[in-house]
Structure 1
Amino acid sequence: MCTRSQSRSRNNSPQREAIPAIVEPLRIEFPFLEDQFQEDPPPESPMADNRTMAQLLQAPTEGYEEAIVIPEITANNFELRHGLLTLVQNKQFFGHDKEDPHAHIRYFNKITLTMRVLNVPSSSIKLMLFPPPSKTTNLRNEITRFQQRFDESFYEAWERFNDLLRACPHHGFSELHQLDTFYNALNVNDQDSLNSAAGGNFLGKMPRECLKIIKSKSKVRQTRAKAVVAKVGTS
Structure 2
Amino acid sequence: MAPLPGNECQVYSDTILSTCDFHHKLIDTSCVCQSGYETVEEGLLSVIHLRERIEVILNIMEATPEDQHSHQGRQDNLNEFRSMRDRMHPPRMSAPSCIVPPTEQLVIRPYLVPLLPTFHGMESENPYAHIKEFEDVCNTFQEGGASIDLMRLKLFPFTLKDKAKIWLNSLRPRSIRSWTDLQAEFLKKFFPTHRTNGLKRQISNFSAKENEKFYECWERYMEAINACPHHGFDTWLLVSYFYDGMSSSMKQLLETMCGGDFMSKNPEEAMDFLSYVADVSRGWDEPTKGEVGKMKSQLNAYNAKAGMYT
* TM-score normalised by length of structure 2: 0.39
* TM-score normalised by length of structure 1: 0.49
- Ranked by relative contact order (alpha carbons within 8 Å, sequence separation 6 or more), the top structure is 1
The answer to which structure has the higher helix fraction is 2
